Amino acid sequence: MSPVADHDPRGAGAGFAAALRARRLARGLTQEELAGRAGLGVRTLRELERGRVARPQRGTLALLADALDLVGADREDFLAGIVTTTPATLPLPTVPALIGRDADIAELLDLLERADLVALVGLAGVGKTGLAHAVAHATPGTAVSVTITDVSQPTDVFAAVAAVFGVARAEELLDRPALLVLDGIDRSHRSAVKAITWLRARVPAVKILATSRRPLAGVIPGAVDWRVEPLDLPHTSAPTSLAEVRRTPAVALFLDRLRQVRREPVPDAEIPAVAELVRRLDGLPLAIELAAARGRVLELPELLSRYGNRVLDLAATDPDGQRLRDAVAASYHLLDEPDQAALRRLAMFRGRWSLELAEALLGFNAETVLDRLVGLGLVSVRGPGDLRFRLLDVVRDFASERGAEQGELRKLRIRHAEVVTRIVVRLAADLVGPASAAAVSRLDYLNSDIRAALRYASVRDPAIALRLAGAIPRWCRLRGRDVEAHRLLRRLLDDPRTAGCDPLIRATAQVAAGMLAMAHGRGFAELWPTEAALEVLVAHGDAAGELAARAVLAGVWQAVGGADESRRHNEAMLGLAIRTGRIREIAVSQNNIAWHDIRTGDLATAARRLAGAGRRAAEAGDTRLQVLTQANLAEVARLDRRYDDAVDLARRAAAATAEVGDPTHRVRALGTLGQALAESGRLQEAAEVLVELAELPGNAGASAMIGGYLGLAEGDRAAAAAAFETAANLLAGRDDIRDVLEALVGLAASAGAADRERALGELDGICARGGLALLPREHSLLAG
């Protein structure tokens, strides 16, 4: 016996009662919902559907017609009380124009040519229903829609399908090719699955496009799941015109819906605020529409300020309307408790993460649970590589709220900090050498998680934060965060709660603090603590740590004029690198020792040593170190007045540092380039370098030096003197004391008598303290 046979023994569809019930089911309404919409009592509606009212009043029919959204001839027949065993086919629901879904519609139309059951799956609010109806409207031929409710039974589905197709019984559809949209099958999943199975077996000509928060593949043989993703967002990495931002699907949807509640178009000045808002809303159509509806009373900056960090509070302006929090909860509650607990843990991640990271955080094989979370649209999978998983912000916020309710948030955040620290410490080992570019890229992807872990652990568990912060000084320098990172490390090292940490962890963190301080001219403040850290590293036989410490100390001593101490550390570093067979560190020490050759005026030896360091760097596969030696060779050529060679080498070094992402050394390479151009009379090109430098952090000293040489070349001695004096002040205590020497030479060569005498006095002091010798070019400047 077919499932339809026992549906309504009085003969469904034969009279007004059956027709009313079929239309209600086709609209996906319960008796209570239809009665509420029509303003009738539930008991009255039940009597009507039981056939106990022979001739309903026309006013009652009008209320029901409005509540059922009946239009055209179907409405007129309904009002006249005319019902037949084959009511007219009901129209598809009218949906607003979809934005940013053209490619999706085309792909689904093509897919429905090959598959007879496609399920649009995804998070509540992602736009499954709108997309399904848009596909139905675009389908050539007959297309109808039935909404499943949380009380639907299989027989209800059959009656609704018959009603929308305009037949008495579902079996009559055997020879009628059509598309049937079943919207919201997860509301009554078992009933919907049973009905779909029956329909596919008995009505093979009808293709089914279902919407569901949970997958159908694997539940019904032959079902194809098609995941509905949020709308595309404006790019953050590449420069984009305002017109392009406006055309981005998420922004375009917001602007379209905003025009429905306010007349004034959004000016260009507010488009960046719109872009930031839709990013925070993760391109989720429901969230975007709810936010736009608030634009009736809130200006865009107010919207971003009010809801930017609490998007779950967005709700429809209608008091009974849907809230974003309820939409996310609907998907969350489809999970069992273990999967909910896993989602709460994964909500600690702030950016993209890998399966490996998920398993480290969860403490078990995560493949199965991730499959379920992805299937429900709670976890997004985008982009190549292993760092491809992420939670939408609304899902993460909701899961974090549940974690707070469970009293587990503190434990989860500490666990997250521990996991991030382990992976970062492992990656930090690759920040030098041939794998450095890949390591930097991975740390960039983990940036938001590193920041979150540092922010929380520095307060709750500073020992974890100390280990994490101590592992990433090179990455922080490359990303221009040396000041921020140094302050954090100094605070952690001074925190009494870290006093009992593993001595090696504290020593490593101290070396990191020295490296970061040196990057912004504060190395001397960390000199003696770093010398003490070196002793700890030597005592524990940590060769890698000792090499890093000596490199930092050599650089600090070099910057403050301690030539003998700098050379001692560099030579000790070279000896250790040779003994332990570390080719890269041999290159680093050779590069550093070349400074001592320059200090004594032996530019030829410095050039040979740098060329050897470059070959060692190439052998070690360290592109960044190769570029550094090339930049230093350019500086030696400039000091030797070989300006054409200097310009050529510096241009190549500047371009290469941009490619490898090293802003600190790019500043030095551009500084050499600009000075060589100015000294050789190519003033326009030197001025262009100044423009390029202005975009980089830490450029002030190099820019002032170029300005000084431009002033000399243009005969403006006052401007030259001011620039050189500024440079001397800015460069003091930074990478190389010889930079200060050169600035003082320029000042003495361009200033008036009083300032010249003062500059010469300071110059004599620097030469005496640092064992520095003036080069022929500097003697020429002073003589001129």
Q: What is the DSSP string of 238-274?
A: S---HHHHHHSHHHHHHHHHHTTT-SSPPPGGGHHHH
Interatomic CA distance for residues 439 and 433, integer angstroms = 10
pLDDT of 2 reads: 28
Strand 143-147 to strand 178-183: parallel, antiparallel, or no bridges (unpaired)? parallel
pLDDT of 767 reads: 87
**CB neighbour list of residue 365: distance below 8 Å, 6 or more residues apart:** 359
pLDDT of 711 reads: 93
Interatomic CA distance for residues 181 and 208, integer angstroms = 6
In the chain, which residues have pLDDT < 70? 1-15, 18-19, 22, 25-26, 28, 50-55, 72-74, 77, 80-91, 166, 168, 170-175, 237-239, 317-322
SS3 of residue 768 by DSSP: helix
Chain centroid, CA 388 distance in Å = 11
Helices (H) and strands (E) counted in the chain, each on its own, are 40, 7
Tell me which DSSP letter residue 435 carries.
T
Cβ atoms of 271 and 245 within 8 Å: the answer is yes
Q: Which two tokens stand for residue 191?
A: 């009933």
Interatomic CA distance for residues 438 and 429, integer angstroms = 12
Phi then psi for 433, rounded to 5 degrees? 100, -170
**How many CB atoms lie under 10 A from the CB of residue 718?**
11
pLDDT of 24 reads: 77
pLDDT of 735 reads: 72
- Amino acid at position 564, single letter: D
Residue 133's nearest CA partner among 174, 101, 165, 156 is 101
SS3 of residue 55 by DSSP: coil
Burial state string for 147-173 with b = 16 or more CB within 10 A and e = fewer than 16 = bbbeebbbbbbbbbbbbbbbbbbbeeb
Chain centroid, CA 273 distance in Å = 17
Interatomic CA distance for residues 616 and 176, integer angstroms = 77
**First-last CA distance in the chain:** 111
pLDDT of 226 reads: 94
Q: 254 in the Ramachandran plot: left (φ > 0), alpha (ψ -120 to 50) or beta? A: alpha
pLDDT of 326 reads: 87
3 state SS for 457-513: HHHHCHHHHHHHHCCCHHHHHHCCCHHHHHHHHHHHHHCHHHCCCCHHHHHHHHHHH
| 636, HSE (Cβ side, Cα atoms, 13 Å) | 25
pLDDT of 9 reads: 36
Q: Which residue has the tokens 């060569």?
A: 749
pLDDT of 320 reads: 62
Give the model confidence (pLDDT) of 652-665 as tens digits: 999 998 888 788 88
SS3 of residue 445 by DSSP: helix
Interatomic CA distance for residues 186 and 3, integer angstroms = 20
